[in-house]
């Protein structure tokens, strides 16, 4: 069966009435199942996760995009999380028999749709049009505040839509990618520099993990800080390995781990290593889970 998953991030996590309206737009499309909505006030960001028949997912994504552009004004948006647009990132993820090539067709269709609305679009990850645009960090460098100047540079002409700054919407970053795990670890300190130093140590460019993107953020409402991470390939860099690295780095500064968060849905295979590591059941496989056999 060909299933397509989409995990759009919008630049709104405080006004939950806006989040709910966007969620309703997704749920209004037959053949699409909304499986998770996660909002964060400090990040001022919400993540939607839904899946279904590919054309239905495309239709739902167009509907949620239209509503997002109408409800979110980037000239007024502030938050701790990096962002470049009201509808900041739209990754399409092939599931089951769906191929990357088929997902790319959907992603290009969506990108052209947004571009025709007069909003700039950049493709990244497997949808990238050049090596410089594969990494979202590069595409979003400077964030919304630098977009007006950046978009005028020849090397940053949008892939779709006008090479013009649209203050209200910013730009939309569209991708096709492997299922990632959004994993955050909260630390019992208000010193954000500690989270930033730990994030730096985890990143590949500084000798850390090849498939971990990390940054340090302040959680002012909770009186803590956070190491916010994306594990872009949980098979190559398992969750427990990253967790223990954060714990070890935090101990260097005399800081305890307060807890962790998994944002949105998680592939079952990503949890296999947790059982192997923490229970020391080294030959465990997800085939031993009763429910996985019932679904086959």
Which positions are catalytic?
81
Task: For residue 129, count other CB atoms closer than 10 A to its CB.
Answer: 12
∠ CA 99-274-257, rounded to 5°: 115
Q: Which two tokens stand for residue 14?
A: 């405080």
Task: For residue 212, count other CB atoms closer than 10 A to its CB.
Answer: 23
Q: What is the CA radius of gyration of the chain?
A: 19
| Residue among 161, 11, 15 nearest 90 (CA) | 11
Sign of CA dihedral 65, 166, 143, 121: positive
Residue 270 makes CB contacts below 8 A (sequence gap 6+) with 181, 231, 234, 238, 239
Cα dihedral 168/33/96/183 (nearest 10) = 60
Q: Which two tokens stand for residue 173?
A: 């970053």
């Amino acid at each position: 069966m060909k299933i397509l998953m989409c995990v759009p991030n919008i630049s709104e996590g405080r006004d939950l009435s806006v989040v709910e309206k966007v969620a309703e737009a997704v749920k209004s499309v037959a053949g699409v199942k909304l499986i998770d909505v996660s909002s964060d006030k400090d990040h001022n960001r919400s993540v939607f996760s839904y899946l279904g028949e590919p054309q239905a997912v495309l239709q739902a994504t167009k509907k949620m995009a239209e509503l997002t552009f109408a409800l979110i004004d980037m000239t007024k948006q502030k938050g701790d999380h990096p962002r470049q647009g009201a509808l900041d990132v739209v990754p399409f993820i092939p599931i089951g028999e769906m191929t990357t090539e088929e997902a790319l067709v959907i992603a290009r269709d969506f990108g052209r749709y947004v571009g025709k609305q007069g909003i700039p679009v950049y493709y990244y990850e497997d949808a990238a049009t050049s090596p410089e645009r594969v990494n979202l960090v590069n595409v979003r460098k400077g964030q919304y505040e630098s977009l007006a100047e950046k978009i005028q540079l020849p090397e940053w002409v949008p892939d779709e839509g006008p090479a013009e700054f649209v203050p209200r919407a910013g730009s939309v970053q569209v991708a096709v990618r492997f299922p990632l795990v959004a994993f955050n670890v909260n630390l019992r300190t208000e010193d954000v520099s500690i989270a930033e130093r730990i994030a730096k140590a985890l990143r590949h460019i500084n000798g850390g993990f090849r498939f971990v993107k990390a940054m340090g953020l302040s959680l002012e409402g909770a009186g803590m800080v956070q190491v916010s991470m994306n594990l872009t390939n949980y098979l190559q860099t398992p969750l427990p390995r990253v967790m223990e690295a954060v714990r070890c780095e935090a101990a260097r500064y005399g800081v305890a781990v307060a807890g962790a968060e998994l944002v949105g849905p998680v592939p079952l295979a990503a949890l296999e290593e947790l059982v192997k590591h923490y229970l020391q059941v080294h030959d465990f496989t997800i085939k031993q889970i009763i429910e996985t056999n019932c679904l086959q």
